[in-house]
């Protein structure tokens, strides 16, 4: 009986590894067959959930030229303000940058877009509210009046037009107000998009 379960376990692990390799390799090829498109349509949510999805456009022939990040201005009921920044790869180091840096970049650039994905903005606002309330519970005990989300972005120029050395900033950022969040009380939240 013990050998049977060992064989079942080894087979399950082999299927899992082969399945993930098939999906990763299918997603890695820039030119997809009809079968490849079917596989990605079927298992695309799995790729997103596990963080295995790496679009070809990230590398070549035309990598994404948008550079953006999101900051939150926290307005407290006592009139004070503070800034809170969503994690950015440029401000991370070590294992955090390797493990999560690109996921945060991808999340803020592709999902936190103005006038889109209001449910995601709502979830991020609730996360920031919980995080700030936890800090305030052990500190000044200020209550949040509202959160104002700002998106900073710029477009990276084609290096043939404007060369930017590694480590230099790629330019000035345009700042746009994209989302307001008003916590109503601890159980209920109200949201409004400023557009």
Which pLDDT tens digit goes with each residue over 4-32?
Answer: 999 999 999 999 999 999 888 887 776 67
How many helices (DSSP H) and strands (DSSP E) are in the chain?
5, 5
Write down the pLDDT at residue 108: 82
Write down the pLDDT at residue 195: 52
Domain boundaries, the chain: 2-58, 66-192
| Six token digits for residue 101 | 């840096």
175 φ, ψ to 5°? -110, 130
Write down the pLDDT at residue 50: 81
**Cα–Cα distance for residue pair 70/86, rounded to 1 Å:** 6
In order of 29, 94, 99, 189, the CA distances from 107 in angstroms are: 22, 20, 14, 23
| Six token digits for residue 123 | 């979830």
77-90 per-position pLDDT tens digit: 999 999 988 888 77
Q: What is the mean pLDDT of residues 53-58?
A: 63
Global pTM reads: 0.64
- CB atoms inside a 10 Å sphere around CB 68: 19
């Amino acid at each position: 009986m013990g050998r049977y379960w060992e064989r079942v376990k080894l087979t399950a692990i082999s299927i899992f590894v082969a399945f993930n390799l098939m999906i990763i390799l299918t997603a890695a090829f820039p030119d997809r067959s009809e079968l490849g498109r079917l596989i990605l349509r079927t298992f695309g949510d799995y790729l997103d959930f596990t963080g295995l999805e790496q679009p070809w456009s990230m590398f070549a022939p035309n990598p994404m030229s948008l550079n953006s990040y999101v900051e939150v201005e926290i307005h407290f009921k006592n009139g004070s303000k503070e800034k809170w920044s969503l994690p950015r790869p440029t401000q991370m180091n070590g294992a955090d940058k390797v493990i999560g840096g690109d996921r945060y970049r991808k999340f803020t650039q592709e999902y936190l877009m103005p006038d889109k994905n209001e449910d995601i903005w709502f979830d991020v606002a609730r996360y920031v509210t919980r995080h700030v309330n936890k800090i305030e519970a052990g500190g000044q005990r200020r209550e949040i009046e509202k959160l104002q989300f700002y998106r900073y972005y710029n477009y990276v120029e084609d290096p043939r037009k404007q060369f930017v050395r590694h480590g230099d900033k790629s330019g000035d950022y345009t700042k746009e107000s994209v989302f307001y969040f008003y916590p109503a009380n601890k159980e209920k939240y109200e949201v409004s998009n400023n557009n």
